[in-house]
């Protein structure tokens, strides 16, 4: 059996895929190693969402190719493999196998010894597996019985409740990389959640390309579909503390879902809803399928009906055709809305998308200036929000000893999602990772908090 080294790049959805591959090869009897030196096989799970992610993926593949021994293998999978399989095979001959975004379930087969075929003469001839194994339209979605080996903190787990996307957003390549939407059943997701809880998970982070369209692909009529609200109520019976929603879409919220978020005690009052823009002409160019009015009404409704809501969003600046007036409208919206969390991306040209063919490109330097200006507005809001928390008691999920100091712990209150929202530094005590503790906020910065542990005597 082989010694295998993994590199996982990109988003949490990619992390889940990596964990599934780890479980698959371990179940097949292979050994997992922590360093590339001496590995028989190196697997790179890539990202291709924006230019920076593509560059990181290519650089990593080239770096890992240097560790490949004469008898070793280099396997590339994920979104970059799905999109650029032919180019990768041509330009990086060190790659032995290229598996698409939904073809990683074939990894164990790709690592198996090369099979032999019998020739008419009776001699054996080795039959090599094809270098490229990429489904034109991805259809695979894992289930709770799929082997999975967790990486990262055991107390915080990602649960991919659906794969793919059916939305026509003009700037996004994800539907071509991940295929159409396909949802898991409530029963299957809950079964996995129970398993994760038994393994130590206290926080479940629900992810998908489009969380709020969960179940829409399961039936021809609304009555025949399972819904995200139904899933949340079912997960509320699992023995975890926090259930968090990522990647929701603004026009897909309904009363049932809002009520479930508001009333389910384990569903943290945190919603990640990428809005992308507020100007109606820009929303139309982006093919978002809703208006500025829908966005503004949603923000107002969510805050009115969900107590203590933390609202996170992202925006794209510099999309083709974005005028100074439209950008100013976006800045005014962010300043007025006072989101708890907000990020801004500069537009990235994605060949094969509608936006890539649009005229009136915004210069790179202008995009960078707009991003900086928008984030300066948001930074002031974030600091104001955090300063208002000084002196208050909060509940914190402890992630471990802080990288800043061995005398501090590091954790997150429910308004801080793992990996994207900053952290809470904890002083005056030590507790194990995964503990849920009370703490009093003592200091605030733009993105992080400092607090003192409120330990029982």
Based on the fold, state whether residues 305 and 424 are members of the same structural domain: no
Based on the fold, state whether residues 241 and 346 are members of the same structural domain: yes
Scan for tokens 């790659």, then name that residue.
95
Is 211 part of any domain? yes
Three-class DSSP category at 182: strand
Is 149 part of any domain? no
What does each of the 457 residues of the chain score in pLDDT, given as a tens digit?
Answer: 788 999 999 999 999 999 999 999 999 899 999 999 889 999 999 998 778 889 999 999 999 999 887 668 899 999 999 999 999 999 999 999 999 998 988 888 778 764 444 445 554 444 455 788 898 888 899 999 999 999 989 999 999 999 999 999 999 998 989 999 999 999 999 999 999 999 999 999 999 999 999 999 997 777 889 999 999 999 999 999 999 999 999 989 999 999 999 999 999 999 999 999 999 999 999 999 999 999 999 999 999 999 999 999 999 999 999 999 999 999 999 999 999 999 999 999 999 999 999 999 999 999 999 999 999 999 999 999 999 999 999 999 999 999 888 889 999 999 999 999 999 999 988 899 999 999 999 999 999 999 999 865 4
Q: 455 phi and psi, to 5 degrees?
A: -85, 140
The CATH number of the domain holding residue 45 is 3.40.50.12160
Domain boundary among 342, 357, 386: 386
Cα(160)–Cα(87) distance, integer angstroms: 29
Is 146 part of any domain? no
Split into its structural domains, the chain has a count of: 3
- CB-count burial class (<10 Å; 0-12, 13-18, 19+) for 428: middle
Nearest to 210 by CA among 240, 182, 243: 182
Q: What is the pLDDT of residue 114?
A: 47
Nearest to 227 by CA among 254, 206, 197: 254
DSSP 63-124: HHHTT--TT-EEEEEEHHHHHHHHHHHHH-TT--EEE-TT-GGGHHHHHSPPEEEE-TTS-E
Domain boundary among 329, 356, 386: 386
Q: What is the pLDDT of residue 449?
A: 97
The CATH number of the domain holding residue 326 is 3.80.30.20
How is the beta sheet containing 97-99 ordered, strand by strand? Answer: 31-32, 3-8, 41-46, 73-78, 97-99, 132-133
Is 172 part of any domain? yes
Based on the fold, state whether residues 364 and 220 are members of the same structural domain: yes
Q: What is the pLDDT of residue 2?
A: 85
Q: What is the pLDDT of residue 275?
A: 97
Based on the fold, state whether residues 92 and 27 are members of the same structural domain: yes
Range of the domain at 80: 3-133
The CATH number of the domain holding residue 400 is 2.40.50.140
Is 361 part of any domain? yes
Domain boundary among 327, 358, 386: 386
302 close to 329: Cβ distance less than 8 angstroms: no
Based on the fold, state whether residues 226 and 315 are members of the same structural domain: yes
Condensed to tens digits (0 to 9), the pLDDT of residues 310-350 reads 999 999 999 999 999 999 999 999 999 999 999 999 999 99
Based on the fold, state whether residues 418 and 380 are members of the same structural domain: no
Q: What is the pLDDT of residue 48?
A: 87
Q: What is the pLDDT of residue 1?
A: 78
Is 150 part of any domain? no
Q: Indicate the length of the chain as a whole number.
A: 457
Nearest to 426 by CA among 445, 447, 399: 399
Based on the fold, state whether residues 397 and 381 are members of the same structural domain: no
Condensed to tens digits (0 to 9), the pLDDT of residues 428-440 reads 888 999 999 999 9
Q: What is the pTM of this model?
A: 0.92
Based on the fold, state whether residues 186 and 237 are members of the same structural domain: yes
Interacting residues of 217 by C-beta distance below 8 A, sequence separation 6+? 162, 166, 180, 181, 182, 183
Is 309 part of any domain? yes
Based on the fold, state whether residues 126 and 27 are members of the same structural domain: yes
Based on the fold, state whether residues 373 and 441 are members of the same structural domain: no
Is 145 part of any domain? no
Based on the fold, state whether residues 366 and 439 are members of the same structural domain: no
Based on the fold, state whether residues 163 and 28 are members of the same structural domain: no
């Amino acid at each position: 059996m082989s010694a295998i080294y993994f590199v996982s790049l990109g988003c949490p959805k990619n992390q889940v895929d990596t964990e599934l591959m780890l479980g698959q090869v371990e179940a097949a009897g292979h050994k997992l190693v922590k360093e590339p030196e001496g590995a028989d096989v190196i697997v790179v799970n890539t990202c291709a969402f924006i230019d920076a992610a593509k560059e990181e993926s290519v650089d990593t593949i080239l770096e890992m190719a240097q560790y490949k021994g004469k008898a070793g293998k280099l396997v590339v999978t994920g979104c970059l493999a799905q999109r650029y399989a032919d180019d990768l095979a041509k330009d990086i001959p060190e790659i032995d196998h290229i598996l698409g975004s939904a073809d990683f379930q074939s990894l164990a087969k790709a690592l198996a010894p090369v099979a032999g075929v019998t020739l008419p003469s009776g001699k054996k001839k080795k039959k090599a597996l094809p270098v490229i194994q990429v489904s034109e339209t991805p259809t695979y979605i894992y289930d709770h019985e799929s082997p999975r080996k967790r990486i990262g903190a055991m107390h915080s787990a990602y649960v991919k409740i659906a794969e793919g996307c059916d939305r026509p957003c003009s700037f996004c390549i994800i539907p071509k990389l991940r295929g159409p939407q396909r949802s898991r059943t409530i029963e299957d997701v809950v079964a996995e959640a129970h398993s994760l809880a038994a393994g130590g998970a206290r926080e479940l982070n629900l992810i998908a390309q489009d969380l709020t369209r969960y179940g829409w692909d399961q039936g021809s009529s609304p009555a025949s579909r399972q819904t995200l609200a139904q899933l949340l109520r079912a997960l509320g019976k699992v023995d975890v503390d926090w259930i968090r929603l990522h990647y929701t879409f603004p026009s897909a919220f309904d009363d049932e879902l809002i009520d479930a978020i508001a009333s389910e005690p384990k569903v943290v009052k945190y919603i990640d809803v990428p809005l992308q823009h507020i100007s109606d002409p820009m929303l139309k160019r982006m093919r978002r399928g809703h208006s500025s009015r829908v966005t503004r009404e949603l923000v107002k409704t969510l805050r009115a009906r969900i107590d203590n809501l933390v609202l996170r969003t992202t925006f794209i600046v510099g999309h083709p055709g974005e005028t100074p007036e439209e950008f100013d409208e976006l800045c005014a919206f962010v300043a007025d809305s006072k989101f708890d969390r907000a990020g801004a991306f500069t537009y990235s040209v994605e060949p094969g998308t509608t936006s890539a063919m649009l005229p009136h490109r915004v210069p790179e330097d202008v995009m960078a200036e707009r991003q900086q200006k928008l984030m300066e507005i948001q930074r002031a809001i974030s600091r104001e929000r955090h300063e208002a928390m000084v002196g208050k008691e909060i509940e914190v999920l402890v992630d471990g000893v802080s990288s800043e100091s061995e005398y501090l712990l590091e954790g997150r209150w429910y308004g801080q999602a793992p990996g994207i929202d900053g952290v809470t530094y904890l002083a005056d005590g030590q507790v194990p990772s995964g503990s849920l503790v009370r703490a009093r906020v003592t200091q605030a910065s733009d993105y992080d908090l400092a607090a003192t542990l409120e330990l029982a005597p």
